Structure 1
Amino acid sequence: MSNSNNKEQPQSQQVISGYYPMFPVLQNDGIDLFDVVAQLWRRKSWVIGCILATTLLAAVYAFTAKEQWTATAVVDVPSFDTIDNYYQGIRLLEGNVDKLTSSEDVANKLFKQFISQAGSYNELSNFIYESDYYKKIVEGKNKKDKANILNEIVSSVRLVKDQENSTYFFSFPATTPSEAQVLLEKYIDSVNANVSQVWYAQLTSQIKNKKQTLKNQMAAIKKVAEERRLEDIKGIKMALSIAERTNIQKPEITGLTQLDSNRLFLLGKDALAAMSESVEKQPLTLGDFYYDLQRQWISLDEFKVNNTSIKGFSYLKSPIEPINKDKPKKAIILFLGLILGFIIAGGVVLTEMLMDNYRKHTK
């Protein structure tokens, strides 16, 4: 009897002296991977349903979300033929100087101004605000929403300099390819028109001031020459008066004797009368400098300002309709929807298995 009782008693596990296990030895009550796969297979209808549901939601978003297309362009320093008229005006303003401004300097200054204007927040926001595209997408919205949409469009426009050269990369987004292309073209043209208007306004003002300066210089030279002629005539008439009073009819000098104004009466009445008439009728002696100024004035006066031909840039890549859409990426969204559905379904199944396993071991 006692032997049978001893057999029924479980033998205690021998513990090695001095050894204390850090963790209790657990039975393998975890969930096996094969059990998870088997459970997923048994619940395949649920898994497929989750995948279909999330994929359907992803498809709804992918096919109804607002699209975005981005048109691009690459610009560089303007070529000489697009700044020729402006450069001619600059050269005429400089006149006869030792070191003339080069066409490269003018092109670089124009391009720098163009880029500065194109990157201006005010310039861009004003252009977008006045565009038909913006008016269409904000129709019926409140003031706050309109401001948010405007800031969103402005912040999405890019103007980036190439690190290796002087070129700049433009990009302009819109909801359709054609609108993106048109907006980018119009914005670049608008900036160029504003820049050329400012530069030609300055050029026109400078030409006007230069012409007035030249005119004043020529008038001063003519005035001095006229005063000099009047002085000469006055001296001749005074000598003629003396010759008449002394009854000197013919010259009383011989050879090439030099006469000053005090002895001019020795030429006699006949010579002095002829000299007086000649000096009064002959044109003013103005000098080469006067005629150089006159040539400059005529050149400036005949110069025709043509502000429609100037460009502050040149295209290396003109804006075209974009081929690839920025967003939404339908294939990626659908794939993510499928993966999300599988994760949700697997998470639910795994949670149920863990709960069942927990309940079994707590009974």
Structure 2
Amino acid sequence: MSKDTNAAPGSTERTQTEQIDLIDIIQQLWAGKLIISIFVIICVVLGAAYAFTAQEKWSSVAIVTLPDSGQVSAYTQAMSVLYPGASPVVHDIQLGFFNRFQVGLAALSMQLQNQKAKNALTSKALSKDDPDQLLISYVGDNATEAQEQLKSYLSKVDSSIAKDIDSDLITNIDSRIEELNSDINSMEQMAQKKKELRLKVLNQALVIAEQSNIKTSQLQNLTGITDDTLFMLGSNALNAMIKNYKNSPLPLSEDYYNAVQNLLAAESIKQDKRILSTFSYIMKPDLPVRRDSPKRLIILILSVIIGGALGAGYVLLKDMFRRNR
């Protein structure tokens, strides 16, 4: 078979031209290597100046989750005293505490942003599958400052929210005490009225017995005696009953004594010194070992690349203008 020799010369010429152009560019760059080196040096100096003078950024990280049952035990106990049989379960209390902690943390983060603070406090769920685990980070000017400031912020939010929760609890206790006092007073008044009514019945029976000149009991069997037949007991027995009943305590129900017991318990927990916490640590704020920025090695490498590119561009443009004149 014969080869097509018509297209070969043109293709060869283009290849040779491209090779010549590439060689020409390399020669131009080699000839301008001093200028390129100057550009590289300038960019490296500028990059190094930034890399070694820019403010460093270090991130400390902590992982937190729901408070332990022991951290909310004082609150749980108080709620069981205030609302026996109807107090919330421990997990609901833990979840409520942690949700309030997250709200407080978000508020502090927003406050720092509004103040245009140079360092950021951020938080996010550790994973979508477990939203009750929170990853919190703080960016500081150095490793120790980042760690200590994150500890301080977490403690600040925890103390503030715990104080608010305790204040709300005191309000609930005061309300419960007021409610119990009202119930106790109502039951005492009702018992007093019952006692007065009973004395009135006994006195009326005594009047009838005296008018009937009945001094001793006329009843053989005391079972089934009613208010209408009390006078049959005789004036002697009725006088003794009235005297004893006047000095007897109020006829109070079991509900009354339960209310008094609950009142004493509520007054007792109001005086308690509660230690509450709204979260627990999975990982305490760490001491970062690598800074976030500046990345000095990357900056220097980019400086060399940028300097070389600028220098090469300058050399090639200068040669192009020279040829066009």
- Closer, same or farther in 2 for the Cα pair 1:308/1:159, shift >3 Å? farther
Query: How far did residue 200 of structure 1 move?
Result: 1.3
Letter in 2 for 1:203: L
2:122 match: 158
CA displacement at 1:80 relative to structure 2:
0.5
Distance 1:308 1:222 in 2: 33
Contact 2:74/2:274, CA 8 A, preserved across alignment: no
Equivalence map 1:253-292=2 (5 Å): 253-292=219-258
Indicate how the Cα distance of structure 1 residues 95 and 280 shifts in structure 2: closer, same or farther if over 3 A, else same.
Answer: same
- Residue 353 of structure 1: how far off its partner (Å): 3.1
TM-score (norm 2): 0.87
Provide the residue aligned with 2:56 in structure 1: 67
- Aligned partner letter, 2:51: A
Amino acid paired to 2:92: D
3-state secondary structure, aligned to 1:32: helix
Report the Cα distance in structure 2 between the residues aligned to 1:209 and 1:83, rounded to whole angstroms. Answer: 21
For 1:299, what is the secondary structure of its paired residue?
Answer: helix
Give the letter for the 1:158 counterpart.
T
Deviations 1:193-229 (A, max 9, x none): 2211221111111111111111111111111111111
Q: Deviations over 1:95-117 (max 9, x none)?
A: 234xx421001111111111122
Is 1:354 matched up with 2:296? Answer: no
Contact 2:35/2:315 (8 A) holds in 1: no
2:67 to 58, 69, 78: 78
Larger Rg: 1
TM-score of the two chains, using structure 1 as the length reference: 0.79
Q: What RMSD in Å do the two structures reach over aligned CA positions? A: 2.5
Given the superposition, is the C-alpha separation of residues 306 and 53 from structure 1 closer, same or farther in structure 2, using an over 3 Å criterion? farther
- The answer as to whether partners of 1:197 and 1:307 remain within 8 angstroms in 2 is no
For the 8 Å contact 2:63–2:136, the answer to whether it is kept is: yes
Letter in 2 for 1:47: I
The answer to whether the aligner puts 1:124 opposite 2:109 as a matched pair is: yes
- Number of equivalences: 311
Which amino acid is 1:78 matched to? P
Unaligned segments of structure 2, at least 5 residues: 1-12
Contact persistence 1:31–1:354 (CA under 8 A): no
SS of corresponding position for 2:123 = strand
For residue 115 of structure 1, the aligned residue among 102, 107, 122 is: 102
Alpha-carbon separation, structure 2, partners of 1:307 and 1:114: 21
Per the TM alignment, residue 234 of structure 1 is displaced from its structure 2 partner at its CA by: 1.8
5 Å-filtered alignment, 1:34-113, equals 34-97=23-86, 100-113=87-100
Contact in 2 for aligned 1:242/1:265 (Cα 8 Å): yes
Are the structure 2 counterparts of residues 250 and 295 from structure 1 closer, same or farther at C-alpha, using a change threshold of 3 Å?
A: same
Question: What does the per-residue CA deviation read over 1:223-250, in whole Å, with 9 as the maximum and x for residues that have no partner?
Answer: 1111111111122122223322332221
* Structure 1 residues 308 and 230, CA gap change in structure 2 (3 angstroms): closer
Structure 1 contact 248–266 (Cα < 8 Å) conserved: yes
Deviation at 1:152, TM superposition (A): 5.3
Check whether the contact 2:61–2:135 (CA below 8 A) recurs between aligned residues: yes
Distance, in Å, in 1 between the alignment partners of 2:110 and 2:272 is 29
Aligned to 2:5: none
- Aligned match of 1:132: none
Identical aligned residues as a percent: 26
Render the CA deviation track for 1:146-166: whole Å, top value 9, x for unaligned.
Answer: x7xx33547x43211121212
Structure 2 distance, partners of 1:49, 1:306, is: 75
Are residues 277 and 298 of structure 1, via their aligned partners in 2, closer, same or farther at CA, if it must alter by over 3 Å? same
Counterparts of 1:210-359 in structure 2 under 5 Å?
Answer: 210-304=176-270, 309-359=275-325
Superposition deviation, residue 332 in structure 1: 0.7
Residue ranges of structure 1 left out of the alignment (5+ in a row): 1-24, 130-146
How many angstroms apart in 1 are the aligned matches of 2:321 and 2:215? 146
> In 2, Cα distance between the equivalents of 1:315 and 1:29?
66
Go from structure 1 to structure 2 and tell me whether the alpha carbon gap of 1:153 and 1:226 turns closer, same or farther (over 3 Å shift).
same
Q: Is the 8 A contact 1:158 1:170 kept in 2?
A: yes
SS at match of 2:56: coil
2:8 equivalent in structure 1? none
Task: Give, as a single letter, the amino acid of the residue that structure 1 aligns with 2:233.
Answer: L
Alpha-carbon distance in structure 2 between the residues aligned to 1:202 and 1:355? 80
